[in-house]
Structure 1
Amino acid sequence: MTSVFKYRGGDWPIVKRDLLSLAKNEIFAAPFESLNDPFEAMAVIDGRSFEIGSLMLRWPSPKTPDQINAGSLKFTTAVDQFVQFTKGVGVYSLSGSVMDELLWAHYGNSHKGFCLEFDLEQLLTYKLEAEEVLTVEYVPQPPKISMVSFVAETSSKEKLLQKLIATKSCRWEYEKETRICVGKAGLREYDYRALKAVYFGVRCERRLIRLAMRLLRGRGVRYYQMQLVKDSYQLQAVEVDDEFSGASPYRGSLARLEDGIPFLDEKTRPYEEELRVAIELARREPYCEKIMDAYISGSRGTPESPVFYVTYERSDGNQLNLYYTLQEVRDN
């Protein structure tokens, strides 16, 4: 599991807004042009400073930088394509640490806010599974790109995203930032199991802590309170009890079965009991709405040790397969 962290804080209306999004299992991918570093997307193209971030706000415009006006038609077209592409991009920024005092001060409302711990791999499932993930690189100078390479790499947006959206000054290195770039800015739903823990700041108010626990009840989230380590500049996270630990499991209802499931034939009949157990396991998948099919996999397992697959309809309408080995089924 790769742990990544999101700091939140602000005045009470902002905190309540963030908590309500949290209760809905939503993240907000901010429009790229709204990011807080004026040097975002700064590049040096053929020896001249070129700032795509500000260009996005005014493209096309009579005030387009001279190096664009003087560029070739291919280059101008490439810039236009990339600007139009990035105008729709949303960015969700995450940190690699929950113990940094500067991050708590800057993004956690001077230690009055909270910090979310996500499992990055699980965060990128469900409705974020096709999105681009970039690890920010910290460099002393803006990246250098020739007009020729800019035109060539416009067809491969990922390379330009890394150079222009995931490259920052060394002064930001303490953030250890990971960025999830989504195709359109705004709210995105994630699998609630991606949220592993909530850390409350040293100065976090009691009412915020209790409200967060109430809104997230039944989800198996762990809670910590940050504390100062005596005689040092260090922080430590001390686990605190969940006041709603006895709540019913979140999304705990059983999915329904399509008629005729399971279909039994000479291949599945010897494993009827195991197949039914596999179906019951799949019905407990939190985002499973309906069981569509269940059978023995033809591509996994062996005749002596079969693997069972269960096809289900997820809450977003997509159909997926869950696979269970014979041993997994019998252990349940």
Structure 2
Amino acid sequence: MKLYKYRGDFQRDLLMLSESKLFASTYDNLNDPFEGMFDDQEDREIIDIFKPYSYDVEIAYEKVLEGLNKVGIYSLSKDYDNEILWALYANSHTGFVIEYELESLLEDFNFNTSIPLVHKLEVIYSELPLKTNTIFSSLKNQFELKELLGTKSKPWETENEFRLIFEMNGLIEFNPKAVTSIIFGLRSEQKHIDKTMELLKGRNIKYYKISKGADSYKLIKEEVEDKFKDFINLNRIVENWKSKIPEEFSKYKEMITKVLNHILNLPNVIDIYSIYINDDSIPIKLQIQAKTSFEMIPLRYFEYCLQENQFINTN
């Protein structure tokens, strides 16, 4: 699925993009004053029923609400040709749009299916705040964020918004391969286009520029040539890990080093924690644990099988 982020400040936004970082804001810092507004009357009534017996339900509910203040929201659109969004969020058509491939964006956050670090949310547009049923939903392990963070009033409907809800907020590193194209605005200056291509060279990104339809109010994207299309971007090589590979695995050293280089170039991976080869299994398995920058999941597990003289990732 393709999703789009409108950007208007080449100096700030392009620097973040070149570092493969995005900014996920807390809901109280978004531009809609009604963010986080919901109707929790039914939840409050349930809490009142339990109060004579225990305050545990109320305490748990307040912790849920407190947690909403800590998550990060990254707002995207399902459209790249929205004239109003270009005007509002891309500095009157002088900025650019980032095209993301959603699955590539998520894979380095939701690698542990039991503890997803990002939640997908299609925004609902409503005349009134939605009623929540948080307490009953949580008892069924069906906790829904949509009523809490995924509802906006009808006037916002033109944005066609799709949200990513991160378990952390602020600057977040992502995998650069998630960016599949950059679309420059109708009024983007050539110097900004050239600078963008230079900073993002070697990433296999396609570039487009918006133009006006000849006989309609339609924005059209037309591909522009990447001036650095022949540039090859090399990952950082982590040779020092060769010496740390256990001696009994020395015959696999080059193959393991290649795997380690890949892992250490992934976003939010800090270092290698452990390496183990199960050479009794068929096929032979390579198991690696990597340290991450995620507080909720400090270790990430990788498993590979030896096939045709190379280790193939299996998880």
TM over 0.5: yes
Is structure 2 residue 302 aligned with structure 1 residue 321? yes
The 5 A counterparts of 1:117-132 are: 117-126=99-108, 130-132=117-119
Query: Could you say if the C-alpha distance between residues 87 and 313 of structure 1 is closer, same or farther in structure 2, counting changes exceeding 3 Å?
Result: closer
Provide structure 1 residue ranges, at least 5 long, that are not aligned to the other structure.
48-66, 265-271
Cα deviation, residue 292, structure 1: 3.1
Query: Could you say if the C-alpha distance between residues 242 and 104 of structure 1 is closer, same or farther in structure 2, counting changes exceeding 3 Å?
Result: same
Partner of 1:22: 17
Quick one: distance in 2 between partners of 1:41 and 1:156? 23
Query: Could you say if the C-alpha distance between residues 245 and 182 of structure 1 is closer, same or farther in structure 2, counting changes exceeding 3 Å?
Result: same
Cα deviation, residue 294, structure 1: 4.3
Quick one: distance in 1 between partners of 2:63 and 2:245? 50
Cα deviation, residue 312, structure 1: 6.4
Quick one: distance in 2 between partners of 1:328 and 1:3? 35
The 5 A counterparts of 1:154-169 are: 159-169=143-153
Partner of 1:133: 120
Contact between 1:202 and 1:225, CA under 8 Å: does it hold in 2? yes
SS at match of 2:39: strand
Partner of 1:279: 256
SS at match of 1:202: coil
Partner of 2:39: 44
Aligned-pair Cα RMSD in Å: 3.6
Quick one: distance in 1 between partners of 2:118 and 2:62? 22
Quick one: distance in 1 between partners of 2:135 and 2:292? 41
Quick one: distance in 2 between partners of 1:162 and 1:296? 47
Contact between 1:122 and 1:193, CA under 8 Å: does it hold in 2? yes
Cα deviation, residue 79, structure 1: 5.7
Query: Could you say if the C-alpha distance between residues 235 and 144 of structure 1 is closer, same or farther in structure 2, counting changes exceeding 3 Å?
Result: same
SS at match of 1:263: helix
SS at match of 1:33: helix
Quick one: distance in 2 between partners of 1:320 and 1:100? 41
Quick one: distance in 2 between partners of 1:315 and 1:40? 31
Contact between 2:277 and 2:284, CA under 8 Å: does it hold in 1? no
Is structure 2 residue 216 aligned with structure 1 residue 232? yes
SS at match of 1:285: helix
Quick one: distance in 2 between partners of 1:243 and 1:158? 49
Quick one: distance in 1 between partners of 2:124 and 2:64? 20
Cα deviation, residue 276, structure 1: 6.5
Which stretch has the larger CA shift, 314-323 or 185-194? 314-323
Contact between 1:314 and 1:320, CA under 8 Å: does it hold in 2? no
Cα deviation, residue 112, structure 1: 0.8
Query: Could you say if the C-alpha distance between residues 326 and 235 of structure 1 is closer, same or farther in structure 2, counting changes exceeding 3 Å?
Result: same
Cα deviation, residue 252, structure 1: 4.5
Is structure 2 residue 167 aligned with structure 1 residue 183? yes
Cα deviation, residue 329, structure 1: 4.2
Quick one: distance in 2 between partners of 1:41 and 1:319? 32
SS at match of 2:208: strand
Aligned letter for 2:180? K
Quick one: distance in 2 between partners of 1:284 and 1:79? 44
Query: Could you say if the C-alpha distance between residues 263 and 277 of structure 1 is closer, same or farther in structure 2, counting changes exceeding 3 Å?
Result: closer
Post-superposition Cα deviations, 1:1-35, rounded to whole Å, max 9, x if no partner, equal x21111111xxxx4311111111111101121011
Quick one: distance in 1 between partners of 2:247 and 2:152? 54
Quick one: distance in 2 between partners of 1:213 and 1:263? 42
Post-superposition Cα deviations, 1:172-196, rounded to whole Å, max 9, x if no partner, equal 3332322122233211111111111
Contact between 2:255 and 2:311, CA under 8 Å: does it hold in 1? no
Contact between 2:287 and 2:304, CA under 8 Å: does it hold in 1? yes
Quick one: distance in 2 between partners of 1:182 and 1:328? 38
Query: Could you say if the C-alpha distance between residues 200 and 177 of structure 1 is closer, same or farther in structure 2, counting changes exceeding 3 Å?
Result: same
Contact between 1:114 and 1:199, CA under 8 Å: does it hold in 2? yes
Pair member with larger Rg = 1
Quick one: distance in 2 between partners of 1:286 and 1:219? 18
Partner of 2:30: 35
Which stretch has the larger CA shift, 309-318 or 29-38? 309-318
Cα deviation, residue 39, structure 1: 2.7
The 5 A counterparts of 1:1-332 are: 2-9=1-8, 14-46=9-41, 77=59, 80-126=62-108, 130-145=117-132, 149-153=133-137, 159-253=143-237, 255=239, 256-257=241-242, 258-260=244-246, 263=249, 278-279=255-256, 281-285=258-262, 287-288=264-265, 292-295=275-278, 298=281, 303=282, 306=283, 308-309=285-286, 311=288, 313=290, 318-324=299-305, 326=307, 329=310
Provide structure 2 residue ranges, at least 5 long, that are not aligned to the other structure.
112-116, 266-270
- After the TM superposition, which parts of structure 1 deviate over 6 Å for at least 4 consecutive aligned residues? 154-158
Identical residues among aligned pairs (%): 29
**TM-score normalised per structure 1:** 0.72
Matched residue count? 289
SS at match of 1:44: coil
Cα deviation, residue 87, structure 1: 1.8
